[in-house]
Amino acid sequence: MTVSIPEGQVYLDNASTSYPKPECVCTAVAQAVREVGLTTGRGKYFSRINPDEVVKRTRAKIARLLNIPDHHRVIFTYSATDSINTAFFGLLDRGDEVLISPLEHHAVTRALHYLGKERGVGFKKLTADADGRVIPERIAEAVSDATKLICVSHISNVSGTVQPIADIGAEAKRLGIPFMLDAAQSAGSHAIDVQAANVSILAAPGHKSLLGLPGTGILYLEKEISPQPFRVGGTGSFSELYELPPEVPTFYESGTPNVLGIIALDASVDFILETGVAEIERVGHIKQRQMLEHLVAMPQVELMGPTDSEMRGCPIAFNVKGREPSEIGTILGEKYHIAHRAGLHCAPSAHEFFGTLERGGAVRVSPAFLTPDDDVDYFCDVMDEILG
């Protein structure tokens, strides 16, 4: 059977950016662009949309989603990378050390390499099993007097490996070390309870599983965590002061915020709360499982990460024996119109761990809750045709 190729694209790159967006997000953004000056805390505006109120209520919704006890500890940033940099640059100093998983994204590893050169900050990779899951019982052996943070990505953007964050958080609490969670691949699509998991710091982007727009991010800081600010400037309040206003979140939000992006998050987090994270995870998992099981059954395919769909998130990275990932990626994209990502995925540490660094990485596909079922079926048919 010959696969019928669609005219448009089949989108399977949700690990990069979620698509499609909920219709309520599209409507909210279009209305805001037409009707609002898109700034906040700077003046009085007479519009059906009050930017100050949107920002305030969106903080509260995000706090509800992640069980954050005080919505003032939700800080708006411009990406997960921006959130991670705010925490690292504000907290880490010469002689400090960070413990990380072997699967971290460049948002973590490049920042730590830079701080190593500039400030003498060190890091160690925690012991993990064959799928890259950190072994909580082995964390203590990596701890030293210099250990300042334990930083782990909840779900690998390469292998889809899900870290046991409740166990890691419990061990971090026992050891008296703050636990920082990179929730880039999980916030909005998987249950996160920062209090239950003893998460002291959380970073997430707005444009992935939170279903918002690029240029937005969130940073949660536990009350006891007070990094120095990463950027300094106007805040729209206390303009008589040359020092930053000490109140959180204002202390960390200098500059004009991405109000359009926050309006999108206001709508997208409503959609997530109304749908339910459990339902979003359930439906996304069904699509991931169908694609995963199809790939696992193909003898030419080499899968990265767990073969058990219950042990992973939606990113699926694989290679084909005897063929370069760039070749398979080109075929998927140019011939079959499948949006995906082939290469190192800004995570060479993960590819080093799985032994795929030297071959140039892997092909990654990533379905999600809003991926049409027909697109999942199409991918499976395409793989049959490519490898048949």
The full DSSP string for 320-368 is ETTS-HHHHHHIIIIIT-EE-EEE-TT-HHHHHHHT-TTTT-EEEEB--
C-alpha dist (Å) from residue 219 to 102, 127, 290, 315, 388: 22, 27, 34, 23, 46
- Which runs of consecutive H residues, i.e. helices, occur in 157-232? 165-175
Tokens, residue 125: 């990779």
Q: Which residue has the higher pLDDT, 231 or 263?
A: 263
Q: Which of 303, 302, 300 is nearest to 315 (CA)?
A: 303
Position 233 confidence tier, pLDDT thresholds 50, 70, 90: confident
The top-scoring range by mean pLDDT among 43-47, 212-216, 227-231 is 212-216
Q: Check whether 388 has a pLDDT greater than 90.
A: no
Instruction: Give the whole-angstrom CA distance, residue 24 versus residue 340.
Output: 25
**Residues composing the chain:** 388
Domains and CATH numbers, the chain: 10-21+277-387 (3.90.1150.10), 23-275 (3.40.640.10)
Q: For residues 361 and 320, is the Cβ–Cβ distance under 8 A? A: no
Q: What is the pLDDT of residues 110-151, one digit of tens each?
A: 999 999 999 999 999 999 999 999 999 999 999 999 999 999
**Residue whose tokens read 């609002």:** 36
Give the mean model confidence (pLDDT) for residues 341-348: 98
Distance between CA 244 and CA 225 in Å, rounded? Answer: 17
Q: Where does the pLDDT of residue 40 fall: very low under 50, low under 70, confident under 90, or very high at 90 and above?
A: low
pLDDT for the residue numbered 218: 99
Type of residue found at 126: L
pTM, two decimal places? 0.95
The pLDDT of residue 311 is above 80:
yes
Residue 309 pLDDT > 60, yes or no? Answer: yes
Write down the pLDDT at residue 51: 81
Q: Is the peptide bond before 20 cis (omega within 30 degrees of 0)?
A: yes
Label residue 318 by pLDDT band (50, 70, 90).
very high
Q: Quick one: 365 exposed, middle or buried, by C-beta within 10 A (0-12, 13-18, 19+)?
A: buried
Give the pLDDT of residue 46: 53
Alpha helices (H) in the chain, listed in sequence order: 23-35, 51-66, 80-91, 106-119, 165-175, 259-275, 277-296, 325-330, 348-354, 373-387
- Higher pLDDT: 95 or 234? It is 95
What is residue 95's three-state secondary structure? coil
Task: State the burial class of residue 300 (Cβ atoms within 10 Å of its Cβ: 0-12, 13-18, 19+).
Answer: middle
Residue carrying structure tokens 């300042």: 148
pLDDT in tens, 63-81: 999 999 999 999 999 999 9
Closest CA to 121 of 151, 141, 77: 151
Q: What is the pLDDT of residue 36?
A: 73
pLDDT at 313 over 70: yes
Contact between 225 and 91 (Cβ < 8 Å): yes
Would you state the pLDDT for residue 181? 99
Between CA 70 and CA 68 the distance in angstroms is 6
- CA 347 to CA 291: how far, in whole Å? 22
Count CB atoms within 10 A of the CB of residue 126: 21
**pLDDT value of position 43:** 54
In this structure, what DSSP letter does residue 150 have?
E
* Interatomic CA distance for residues 84 and 107, integer angstroms: 7
Which residues are paired to 128 by β-bridges? Answer: 134
